[in-house]
Amino acid sequence: MFPDIQETLEDLERRYPERDLPKGAEVTRFAPSPTGFLHTGSLFASLIAQTFAHQSGGIFFVRLEDTDTKREIVGSDLALIEQMAAFGVAPDEGFGAREPGRHGPYRQSERARIYKTVIKELVRRGDAYPCFASTEELDELRKYQESRKILTGYYGSFAKYRDYPVEKAVSDIESGRPYVVRFRSQGDHNCYIKVRDEIRGSLSLSQNDQDIVILKSDGLPTYHFAHVVDDHFMRTTLVSRGEEWVASLPIHIEMFARLGFNTPRFAHLPVIMKLDEGKKRKLSKRRDVEAAVSFFLEHGYPVAAVIEYLFTIANSNFEEWRLLNKTASLTDFKLTFEKMSLDGALFDMAKVVFISKEVLAAKSAQELLTETRAYAMSYHPGLLDLIDRDPEYFKAIVNIEREKENPRKDYSSYESIYEFIKYFYRDHYETSLDLTRLNPAVPVATVRSLLWALSTRMAFESDEPAWFEGFKAIAGEYGFAPSGKIFKQNPDLYIGHIGDAAEILRLALTGLKQTPNLFQIMKVLGRPEVVSRLEFVIDKLPQK
RNA sequence: GGCCCGUUGGAGAAGCGGUUUAACUCAUAUCCCUCUCAAGGAUACAUUCAUGGGUUCGAACCCCAUACGGGUCACCA
């Protein structure tokens, strides 16, 4: 078998030595298959692998599991790396790393010789054998087993090709008959093994007794085999992967043992879930927008917020730590498996939004300008247009009520900024102005006179209290009480109170009933624009 | 269906045999502040830890059963 393979297991051991790392340093990995864009759960997994490697002074690498040629999507390999990088996850070694690393290749499709070397040895030892069973045969076997209510699968006496004569196997292969290679299990389904999982603790699992396929008929290895071989020769110390793998742990354990490899430590990560009609299910790329990491990029959620959120579901003590270390870097937080939940958290978009608001509120106007512009260039031409008309103007807008102890938290994403600031731009202001929204209780004539007075006499050049005093005085002339309290004491004396007058001004200036502080808006707009907008409105007011 | 794992408020969760009146964060609600909104401040929200039974002087914490939820049973990863 495999006459072209001359290398031995020993050669491989020599070629891929243990890394020279300090004690306790973890070698971790992320092993995606290139079947589409990065899933939020995968980002979570890669983030955790990277964090454990880095906080222990170890190495995080990426290995591409591209052995399923049918499901592969061309180009998704690079997209995966790019999207990880966008979230600050970057391999130290392996696929997509600057440093290629000495334990490669890191693309499974390029490791065929390594797998064949191991398989050749396994077959020589009698621990693996070629199997010629067809799909139909296998189907029939399963149906038979199901009808008898016995354990299904290819194992024990059902493993028809276990003892197929060697000469016949050789001639069958030479004649081109398709085959797979199976691992000859020695396990007993009724015996249990104890396995330690870093998150779940000690697990008691039934031994594997299936002669699983390790090499498919297309000559590529299956996941189970590639995992064992790769994580051994890549010298992984800590395998972190989704919890869907715990069920196949006995297979892996048996192979590690029979190959004489040390087993790495395992951490089976919880899967991120979603509530769907009262039932929990895995976050699905097809049904849930937030399942694809690109969603956050496209909508301009700051990556720091997404990462921060992922940490809150990774470790339950993270939020408390963050409260005490408000400005500390994420790398100062020590992630542990003890504080990791066993079952999947429900993805909470509301919390992502909350964290995003906090993250954006903490930024300076300059940072916001730079980052928003970068976002807009890729995803939002409309926003880019506004920014590029005058970056300083944009900065001034976004700086409103920012440089204070409790800055505004309006923006939940870069994308959301657009809707909040549109009215500062004349064209958007004019098209969105809707005077029917004016309070009908105030006569149009009063509105007109008030706005006229405001446009000619309102002073907002000095400070805010001075402006507000002046505003109250002018409003008073037209029957508005200087405060809600005073208005309530004698409602008949007034047509409204200062809040109502402010609403008129606000609507006239912005087209909106809810905006940040009016004084600051006018400061940004500037006197000529304020006057011009007021005149524009007076002009538009119905004539009666 | 078999086998694994789990079940504390709307969400993430802390607690792991006795000062727990079950932390903390988000969400929600009310109030205060206030030119509106956002923010901020205050308060409320699980008499009870899926249910039933045990063990114990004492249980969310230990044991058993039931229910429910998740995972897995491929030449997919």
Q: What is the ipTM of this complex?
A: 0.94
Apex CA A130: angle with CA A125 and CA A135, to 5°? 150
Of A51 and A98, which is predicted with more confidence?
A: A51
Closest CA to A121 of A261, A263, A216: A261
Give the DSSP letter of residue A364: -
pLDDT averaged over every residue in chain A: 93
Structure tokens at A454: 């405001």
The whole-number pLDDT of residue A544 equals 60
What percent of chain A is predicted at pLDDT more than 90? Answer: 78
Of A204 and A181, which is predicted with more confidence?
A: A181
Residue with structure tokens 């292969």?
Answer: A173
Most confident of A58-62, A155-159, A440-444: A58-62
Of the pLDDT bands very low, low, confident and very high (cuts 50, 70, 90), residue A461 is: confident
Contact between residue A57 and residue A27 where contact means Cβ atoms under 8 Å apart = no
Stretch A68-75: mean pLDDT: 91
Q: How far apart are CA A485 and CA A474, in angstroms?
A: 18
What percent of chain A is predicted at pLDDT more than 70? Answer: 100
pLDDT at A488 exceeding the cut of 90: no
Q: How far apart are CA A500 and CA A494, in angstroms?
A: 11
Q: How far apart are CA A337 and CA A51, in angstroms?
A: 12
The whole-number pLDDT of residue A149 equals 84
Structure tokens at A289: 């927008």
- The residues pairing with A279 across neighbouring beta strands, listed in sequence order, are A276
Residues 504-543 of A with CB under 7 A from strand B: 506, 513-519
The whole-number pLDDT of residue A426 equals 95
Residue A308 Cβ < 7 Å to strand B: no
The whole-number pLDDT of residue A415 equals 97
Q: How far apart are CA A434 and CA A533, in angstroms?
A: 13
Largest CA distance in chain A: 110
pLDDT at A100 exceeding the cut of 90: no
What residue has its CA nearest to the C1' of B2?
A151
Structure tokens at A95: 């696929």
Structure tokens at A525: 């707009």
pLDDT at A239 exceeding the cut of 70: yes
Of the pLDDT bands very low, low, confident and very high (cuts 50, 70, 90), residue A441 is: confident
SS3 call for A458: coil
The whole-number pLDDT of residue A284 equals 86
pLDDT at A543 exceeding the cut of 80: no
Stretch A339-354: mean pLDDT: 91
Q: How far apart are CA A452 and CA A474, in angstroms?
A: 10
Which strand B nucleotides have any atom less than 7 A from protein CB atoms?
A: 2-7, 10-14, 23-27, 35-40, 69-77
Task: Give the end-to-end CA distance of chain A in Å, rounded to a whole number.
Answer: 98
Residues 468-487 of A with CB under 7 A from strand B: 468, 483-484
Question: What is the value of pTM for the model shown?
Answer: 0.93
Computed on alpha carbons and rounded to an integer, the radius of gyration of chain A in Å comes to 33
CB atoms within 10 A of CB A514: 7
Q: How far apart are CA A464 and CA A461, in angstroms?
A: 9
Residues 3-22 of A with CB under 7 A from strand B: none
- A63: number of CA atoms within 13 Å, CB side? 31
Residues 130-169 of A with CB under 7 A from strand B: 133-135, 138, 142, 152-154
Most confident of A313-317, A350-354, A402-406: A350-354
Stretch A328-356: mean pLDDT: 92
The whole-number pLDDT of residue A210 equals 95
- CA of A518: how far to CAs of A297, A464, A508, A515, in Å? 32, 9, 11, 7
The whole-number pLDDT of residue A460 equals 87
Residue A192 phi, psi dihedral angles, 5° rounding? -115, 150
Q: Residue A203: what residue type? A: L
Determine the nucleotide nearest to A222 by Cα–C1' distance. B75
pLDDT at A5 exceeding the cut of 90: no
Residue A145 phi, psi dihedral angles, 5° rounding? -65, -40
Of the pLDDT bands very low, low, confident and very high (cuts 50, 70, 90), residue A316 is: confident
Determine the nucleotide nearest to A214 by Cα–C1' distance. B75
CA dihedral A346, A318, A352, A331 (to 10 degrees): -120
